[in-house]
Amino acid sequence: MKTEKTYRFIVSGGGTGGHIYPAIAIANELKLRYPKAEFLFVGASDRMEMEKVPQNGYKIEGLWIAGLQRKLTLKNLLFPLKLVSSLLKSRSIIKKFQPDAAIGTGGYASAPLLKVASSKNIPCLIQEQNSHAGITNKWLSKNVATICTAYEGMERFFPSEKIVLTGNPVRQDLLDIASKRAEAQQYFKLDATKKTILVLGGSLGARKINELVDGVLPFLKAEDIQLIWQCGKLYEDKYILKSDGKIQVHTFLNRMDLAYAASDIIISRAGALSVSELCIVGKPVVFIPSPNVSEDHQTKNALAIAEKGAAILLKESEADSKFQSVVSDLLKDELLQKKLSSTIKKLAKPNAAKDIADEVDKLIQNNHKH
């Protein structure tokens, strides 16, 4: 690798962790290759990236941008103004920073930035985490050079000649969780002879999943099942007191790697990054997708896995009547557990961050030839 030139990368994406973490993972991988490179992140000035990106050691600039609401609101009336303001600020950021490449991972803030970058002939790459493309990435796809996707069949949304199937970048500490099982059982004070279920609803929590789990607590206790239940910040007061030895309620799990390692079965939402992580983790999964996400992303993500026989998909609308029997049947069926586990592992893309960085490399090398 040529490292004598100091490359400058501009990275944009945000609004949710699903857009921010891939952006940070891609930057980390590029930093390994080009230790002298300079990075600048661009996000939406009132969203979580303004806090998460600096925590990971990168500079960030905020744009005054927000998505269009579905109904007529004051925010919507401000949208044209915000868009113009963001395009102008993006132009000045790019002029000042002079990037060698621009990388977008979705979310509203990446739209103006990559639009301006591509108009200035800066090589641009976008990464789409979901199996159903987001509005921003669809809008940018005509202007960028490369589109890295996590799922097959994305020609429905993007020009096929630009698509590279890479997977989603995930945390590196998940690559070898099999070796951490004993450490995990100790960390969560679990009995190694008993089955453990892990419940994940995202950082804020998932109301419906929490209600379902709460409803089956008597069953789990009767069956002597251990539970690691991440209920989320919004539901802490309601459920945290239900902790008792075998039933452990956590607002947040600091050691996700150990939570995965300790579990025999996982019940989870189907955000793009969770799905990619669960493929690498390779445990039997029951997906309960959130129906309240734009364009019903989560159901489509879960369906892409469930159709291959690699996970169980339980719709929220059917969950009240079926949840306990689905969990109970899976616990009893060792063969199904093994089958789900080995099938989902085959869908894992553990080298996603490296593969995306390879594509960025190609763009900057080609650009320097011209």
Binding residues for UDP-N-acetyl-alpha-D-glucosamine: 16-18, 130, 171, 203, 272-277, 298
Q: What are the two backbone dihedrals, phi and then psi, of residue 149, each rounded to the nearest 5 degrees?
A: -115, 160
Q: Do β-strands 146-149 and 163-165 pair in parallel, antiparallel, or remain unpaired?
A: parallel
104 CB-near residues (< 8 Å, 6+ apart) = 11, 12, 13, 110, 113, 114, 124, 125, 126, 127, 136, 137, 140, 144
- Give the residue from 30, 37, 22, 171 showing the smallest Cα distance to 110: 22
CB 312 within 8 A of CB 330: yes
Annotated binding-site ranges: 16-18, 130, 171, 203, 272-277, 298
Please give the distance of CA 194 from its chain centroid, rounded to a whole number.
30
Give the CA dihedral 50, 55, 61, 62, nearest 10 degrees: 0
Q: What are the two backbone dihedrals, phi and then psi, of residue 249, each rounded to the nearest 5 degrees?
A: -105, 125
| Strand ranges in 129-173 using DSSP code E only, listed in sequence order | 146-149, 163-165
How far is 285 from 115, CA to CA, in rounded Å?
A: 39
The one-letter amino acid at 111: A
How far is 28 from 9, CA to CA, in rounded Å?
A: 11
How far from 3 is each of 34, 57, 132, 345, 360, CA to CA, in Å? 6, 21, 37, 35, 14
- Give the residue from 180, 181, 127 showing the smallest Cα distance to 19: 127
The 3-state DSSP class for residue 105 equals coil
Find the radius of gyration of the CA atoms of the chain. 22
DSSP H/E element including 59? strand 59-63
